[in-house]
A and B are shown apart, each in its own frame.
Chain A
Amino acid sequence: MKVFVKTLKGTHFEIEVNPSDTLSEVKKNIETVQGADVYPAAQQMLIHQGKVLKDGTTLEENKVAENSFIVIMLSKTKSSSGEGSTTSTAPSVKASATPTSTSVSAAPQAPASTGATPTPVTAPAAPASAAAPAPISSGSAVPESDIYGQAASNLVAGSNLEGTIQQILDMGGGSWDRDTVVRALRAAYNNPERAVEYLYSGIPEQAEAPPVTREPASAQPANPPAAAPQAAQPASVPSSGPNANPLDLFPQGLPNVGSGAAGAGSLDFLRNSQQFQALRAMVQANPQILQPMLQELGKQNPHLMRLIQEHQVDFLRLINEPVEGGEGNILGQLASAMPQAVTVTPEERQAIERLEAMGFDRATVLEVYFACNKNEELAANYLLDHMHEFDE
């Protein structure tokens, strides 16, 4: 018999099946027809008339008849870190009521050992000058070359953009028009998550300024070889989408230059900024991170962002200049971001796991647990009392 399989992309295809086929066989069938790279059987979830179809059952048992529609979706692959992450983004904790909150990253969960050897948990070192805790980072290791690729993973472009616009329009159920969605996406530098936020809360005027565009390739000096080898980059990736744990770009270190200081060299003060030099090295190694970083800068230092927009040519010239001081310089600048180890005893690890089992993601649990001086009861109360405050 013929059955239609509807995808979440809005398309559908048909498969030939028998009523006695089990769901496992149907999934294999789909994998064969559509390709294992598109619909791997292990990740398929099939839904029919409000029921999630179980592998052991047959189509007949699930009342799937000729010309029935089945919806297919892919379940998320389980991360190797084994963390019971409950949200797609790690919420940051507003630890106002707690003492100094220590930021700890979620390390891959070690198998329970009988020995009393403490399990190390990596924690990013907070720079001495920083008053705020360092961002939570997830310990699921990513190939080093992909670290900054991840940072831009939520940004859409090209053919994906059209699909994203359509998805957002569907999500609004007709309450937004296409033009508004496009404006929101532009304001959010093509980050769909932030665009949706803008649509609900209003598009900030300042954000609607056109994004920084690169000069034509002919006018651009050739990118010098990357000053920082990939190995120098920290091996932990922020656990949430891009910019959720912002890099503190140019915090207080920059002079408050007025826009009156226009002219060819109005951005030259950046050349002496250590933060800018580090940023430049990263951008030259991975050009795709420039846009998310500028987006973050727009939030942290709108004045500087306005200046960059007014002097795009100067900014591009500066960003493409060869990095002074070579590798040693950038290695020194990135050293503060390297993870350090914090040890926990087996009892503490069990307490952390119990808190996780309550439905909170590992990064949040670790931060709250350490902020509460490893008092499990206090941490549990805090997590439950503030669960609505955990923000993306």
Chain B
Amino acid sequence: MTLGSGGSSVVVPRNFRLLEELERGEKGIGDGTVSYGMDDGDDIYMRSWTGTIIGPHNTVHEGRIYQLKLFCDKDYPEKPPSVRFHSRINMTCVNHETGVVEPKKFGLLANWQREYTMEDILTQLKKEMAAPHNRKLVQPPEGTYF
């Protein structure tokens, strides 16, 4: 996130940026179908985050809650966080054995820009669930984990 002022731009440091995201997560995002927060409150580097996505309507995911883990390394937001589904899910961009969202198969991570946020990732994953190639895929039993 850069703040422009008369030609010069200020890059918001990693920690400030993550504090902004934490604050936004605490307020509750949008319609509540995606949410996120810190996984480990004691981690001063704010690396481990947890998120949930509520499956979109009119898809096989409807009525399910998917839990994810996001890891923002020290080069975040220059580099995207690593994203892994904790709840089992069958999706084209998710590794079937590890639950990792594969950056090459998920546009937002493949074309990452530093303005993108964890909220954007979760929202985009929710949209991906509703895409034609994912919305009807047979899913593992509810309540199973990677």
Docked complex Cα distance between A10 and B138 (Å): 29
B32 within 8 A of A: yes
B54 within 8 A of A: yes
Of A230-238, A299-307, A337-345, A384-392, which binds chain B?
A384-392
A171 within 8 A of B: yes
Tell me which residues from 39 to 62 in chain A have a Cβ below 8 Å from any Cβ of chain B: 45, 47-52
Interface of B is mostly: loop
Of B58-66, B76-84, B99-107, B109-117, which binds chain A?
B58-66
Contacts of B127 in A (CB 8 A): 171, 173
CB distance from B62 to the nearest CB of A (A): 6
Contacts of A52 in B (CB 8 A): 52, 65, 67
A79 within 8 A of B: no
Number of residue pairs spanning A and B whose beta carbons lie under 8 angstroms apart: 117
B37, B51, B68 pick with most chain A CB within 10 angstroms: B37
Whether the Cβ atoms of B26 and A69 lie closer than 8 Å is yes
Known pairs A52-B67, A69-B26; A7 contacts B32 (CB<8 A): yes
* Contact mask for chain A residues 53-97; partner B; CB cutoff 8 A; 1 contact, 0 none: 000000000010000110101011000000010111101000000
Whether the Cβ atoms of B31 and A47 lie closer than 8 Å is no
Count residues on chain B whose CB falls below 8 Å from chain A CBs.
Answer: 44
CB distance from B75 to the nearest CB of A (A): 22
* Contact mask for chain B residues 26-53; partner A; CB cutoff 8 A; 1 contact, 0 none: 1110011101111101000000011110
Whether the Cβ atoms of A50 and B51 lie closer than 8 Å is yes
Whether the Cβ atoms of B32 and A49 lie closer than 8 Å is no
A6 within 8 A of B: yes
Whether the Cβ atoms of A47 and B65 lie closer than 8 Å is yes
Q: Which residue of A lies closest to B51 (CB)?
A: A50
User: Contacting A51 at CB < 8 Å: which of B52, B137, B140?
Assistant: B52
Docked complex Cα distance between A2 and B71 (Å): 31
Whether the Cβ atoms of A69 and B27 lie closer than 8 Å is yes
Whether the Cβ atoms of A86 and B140 lie closer than 8 Å is yes
Known pairs A6-B32, A45-B65; A68 contacts B26 (CB<8 A): yes
A189 within 8 A of B: no
Whether the Cβ atoms of B31 and A50 lie closer than 8 Å is no
Whether the Cβ atoms of B138 and A91 lie closer than 8 Å is yes
Contacts of B57 in A (CB 8 A): 167, 171, 192
Known pairs A50-B25, A86-B141, A91-B138; A75 contacts B58 (CB<8 A): no
Q: Which residue of B lies closest to A196 (CB)?
A: B58
B142 within 8 A of A: yes
Contacts of B140 in A (CB 8 A): 86, 359
Q: Which residue of A lies closest to B61 (CB)?
A: A88
Count residues on chain A whose CB falls below 8 Å from chain B CBs.
Answer: 45
Whether the Cβ atoms of B36 and A49 lie closer than 8 Å is yes
CB distance from B86 to the nearest CB of A (A): 10
Whether the Cβ atoms of B35 and A49 lie closer than 8 Å is yes
Whether the Cβ atoms of B41 and A4 lie closer than 8 Å is no
CB distance from A10 to the nearest CB of B (A): 6
User: Contacting B28 at CB < 8 Å: which of A69, A88, A192, A391?
Assistant: A69
Contacts of B28 in A (CB 8 A): 4, 6, 69, 71
User: Contacting B31 at CB < 8 Å: which of A8, A87, A359, A387?
Assistant: A8
CB distance from A315 to the nearest CB of B (A): 30
B95 within 8 A of A: no
CB distance from B142 to the nearest CB of A (A): 7
Tell me which residues from 104 to 146 in chain B have a Cβ below 8 Å from any Cβ of chain A: 123, 127, 130-132, 135-142, 144
Docked complex Cα distance between A49 and B20 (Å): 14
Docked complex Cα distance between A361 and B62 (Å): 16
Docked complex Cα distance between A68 and B51 (Å): 16
Contacts of A69 in B (CB 8 A): 26-28, 32
Whether the Cβ atoms of A387 and B90 lie closer than 8 Å is yes
Q: Which residue of B lies closest to A359 (CB)?
A: B140
Contacts of B36 in A (CB 8 A): 49-50
Whether the Cβ atoms of B32 and A71 lie closer than 8 Å is yes
Contacts of A10 in B (CB 8 A): 31
Docked complex Cα distance between A52 and B35 (Å): 10
Contacts of A167 in B (CB 8 A): 57
Known pairs A8-B54, A360-B138, A387-B137; A51 contacts B60 (CB<8 A): no
For the complex of A and B, the 4 pairs showing the least CB-CB separation, nearest first, are: A49-B37, A69-B28, A71-B32, A359-B140
Given contacts A6-B28, A171-B127, 14 further A-B contacts (CB under 8 A): A7-B32, A8-B54, A47-B32, A48-B35, A50-B39, A50-B50, A50-B52, A71-B35, A84-B141, A86-B142, A170-B31, A359-B138, A360-B138, A361-B138
Q: Which residues of A contact B (CB under 8 A)?
A: 4, 6-8, 10, 45, 47-52, 63, 68-69, 71, 73, 75-76, 84, 86-89, 91, 167, 170-171, 173, 192-193, 196-197, 200-201, 357, 359-361, 364, 387-388, 390-392
Interchain residue pairs with CB less than 8 A apart (14): A4-B28, A45-B65, A47-B65, A49-B37, A50-B68, A51-B52, A69-B28, A69-B32, A86-B142, A88-B62, A88-B63, A171-B127, A359-B90, A361-B138
